[in-house]
Amino acid sequence: MPSPFVGEQFTFRNPDGSEFQVRGWGNQFSAVFETTDGYTVVPDPDSGFYHFAALDTDSGDLVPSGETVAADARALALPPHLRAARSAVTARARTVREELGGEPRWQVRRRARLAQRGAADGPAGAPPPAATVGDYTGLVLLVEFPDVPATITRNDVDNFCNQVGFTGFGNNGSAYDYFLAVSDGKLRYRNRVAAYHRAEHPRAHYTDRAIPYGTRAQELIKEALDHLKASGFDFSVLSSDSGGFVHALSLFYAGDRVNNWSEGLWPHSWALATPYAASATRTFSDYQITDLGTRLTLRTFCHENGHMVCDFPDLYDYDSVLVGNGVGHYCLMCFGGSDTNPVQVDAYLKNAAGWTSRLTTLTPGTTTSIAAGSNDFLVHRRSATEYFIMENRRQAGRDTAVPDAGLAIWHVDETGDNSNEQMTPALHYELSLEQADNRFDLEHRANAGDSEDLHGGPAAPAFGSATAPNSNWWDGSASGLEIEEISAPGATMTVRTKATGPQWYGDLAVDMVFASHHSGNAWAALAGLGWRQVRAGNPDGVTNMLAVLTEARANGKKVSITADATSVYDAYLL
């Protein structure tokens, strides 16, 4: 399945039809599977039969041991819970992506947006310009096979996607309800659900394990699109990006999943190797495909549409397994909580999508309230790409399955990567949770979140330079964020920052300056301090101070300044 799985049980099949049960950890690119008694298995590339795994000491990869899963692993004295070296797993994941071909449009859009923000000369506090707000429409294709008819109706799928207050299959609302709720009413996402298309071949044609992974899935998608195009469907109703690429295409096929991992129609999401031109203005690239089974559930569907519609990244480790747990069950774009009532999207991604209802910049000596269940966030910035953003999470409603309640303090570095759990200045997550117990169980893969992660009195009433965890930036420098009191978890929490007056700093380099055409709106990035707004009693004072800082930046001179956590008040050339 496209979203990650952790210890989930699957039925695998050998070429002779024999079945056996496994538990799996991973995603569509990288995964490891064990028998139910803990012995790692891999397919033999020659026979297709599953064998108990052995470790190749040269490559560090898992290889067939020569003993099939029909043997007694204990009698063979095989080691349980065998794992490949990280380098081997990463290489294998890269191969899977290359075999699928193409690159999802959402990744292209996201990369371009990050480059734009990284090149900005100022401490951009607003979300990226391409906010995901308003009305969006995706397409859902339904396929049955000549030998596997549909058992879930088109009307059921339409209601699952679009019906307000949907409760079918135990879900808390429809996909429309989910995105409307987590966006604070800002995104209205609907899907056009096409009538069932009967595939041209029996199911076995598309699930043929001898055909490279993704090939037959994309063949089935093209076939269903051809059928829809021939019916006269108006593709212009579908939402697209600036290049005319439709944001979201989902295909549900009738019946259960019968393939093993990374074969045939194993559920996945990616981009078509060859984009499909549906009309003069609409082209398909990004897609997800999955089996209908016997029930529809929200988590995976919303996760994949989070990619395609909102350009959200995965917040778990793409390229390796059993390394780090990303942000665990604290966000839809990682493990996501419940299948039928997935948890909220985190504050970082909500803010990037333009879903923030209130964004308060923390300043010293203030007390600020923050409400749960609404997109009410606190922020403390170093730059456009590194900052802390905070939200109040409560175990109710959409967040019933969240592991803890309280103030979630997120450390954002938009240039980071949630495949990097090392927690070093060079290698760290894009989004990491400042876990109040200071164990960082998510990075160490101890769990996917627990009851001691979030801040709030009396257990974790503060967050600053002297707490553990501390409020330093990733390079180890002080952020200036000093929260001295966080109230107990509740529907509304309060956050009180320490009152700190301006301090004198000498011999500082000026890394960057920024000013807009608005009178008095000027900023300076100072070595070891980050961005500070230039403040004075009048616009002329701001102009004069900016001139000093600009000269220092242009000529490599140092300055002495008076500054606090957010502003610089005096500047003198040295």
Q: Does pLDDT of 318 surpass 90?
A: no
Rounded to an integer, what distance in angstroms lies between the CA atom of residue 519 and that of residue 533? 13
- CA 49/CA 13 separation, integer angstroms: 8
Q: If you count them, how many residues does the chain have?
A: 574
Q: 463 to each of 221, 326, 428, 488, 499, how far by Cα in Å?
A: 50, 21, 20, 14, 14
DSSP conformational letter for 408: E
pLDDT band at 360 (very low <50, low <70, confident <90, very high): very high
Average pLDDT of the segment spanning 204-216: 95
State percent of the chain over pLDDT 70: 95
Helix (H, G, I), strand (E, B) or coil at 36: coil
Of 345 and 480, which is predicted with more confidence? 345
Cα 24 from chain centroid (whole Å)? 21
pLDDT of 129 higher than 70 = no
Q: What is the pLDDT of residues 384-431, one digit of tens each?
A: 899 999 999 999 999 999 999 999 999 999 999 998 999 999 999 999
If you compute the radius of gyration of the chain from its CA atoms, what whole number of angstroms results? 26
Give residue-wise pLDDT tens across range 229-244: 999 999 999 999 999 9
pLDDT for the residue 393 = 98
DSSP per-residue letters across 302-314: HHHHHHHHH-PPP
Burial 56-95 (b: 16+ CB within 10 A, else e): eeeeebbebbebbbeeebeeeebeeebbbbeebbbbbbee
Structure-model confidence comparison of residues 393 and 529, the more confident one: 393
Rounded average pLDDT over 348-374: 94
- Token readout for 66 is 């020569």
Instruction: Give dist(CA 411, CA 346) in Å, integer.
Output: 12
Most confident region among 83-92, 94-103, 344-353 by mean pLDDT:
344-353
Q: What angle do CA 377, 455, 397 make, to 5 degrees?
A: 60
With 0-12 / 13-18 / 19 or more C-beta atoms within 10 angstroms meaning exposed / middle / buried, residue 23 is middle
Check residue 521 and give its pLDDT: 82
Q: Which amino acid is at 246?
A: V
Taking 90 as the threshold, does the pLDDT of residue 564 lie above it? no
Q: Which residues of 241-255 are buried (b: 16+ CB within 10 A; e: fewer)?
A: beeebbbbbbbbbbb
Q: Which of 421, 390, 419 is nearest to 406 (CA)?
A: 390
Work out the pLDDT band at 537, boundaries 50, 70, 90: low
The rounded mean pLDDT for the chain is: 92
Q: Is the N-terminal amide bond of 458 cis, ω within 30° of 0?
A: yes
Query: Stretch 263-273: mean pLDDT, rounded?
Result: 94
Q: Which single residue is written with the structure tokens 């996909």?
A: 175
Closest CA to 333 of 351, 350, 356: 350
Long-range contacts of the stretch 25-29 (C-beta < 8 A, 24+): 25/321, 25/322, 26/261, 26/321, 27/2, 27/3, 27/314, 27/316, 27/318, 27/321, 28/1, 28/2, 28/96, 28/262, 28/266, 28/267, 28/268, 28/269, 28/270, 29/93, 29/96, 29/97, 29/318, 29/319
CA angle 265, 171, 166 (to 5 degrees): 110
540 in Cβ contact with 522 (< 8 Å): no
Residue 562 parent element (H or E): strand 558-563
* Contacting residues for 332 by C-beta, under 8 A, at least 6 apart: 182, 299, 302, 303, 306, 342, 343, 344, 345
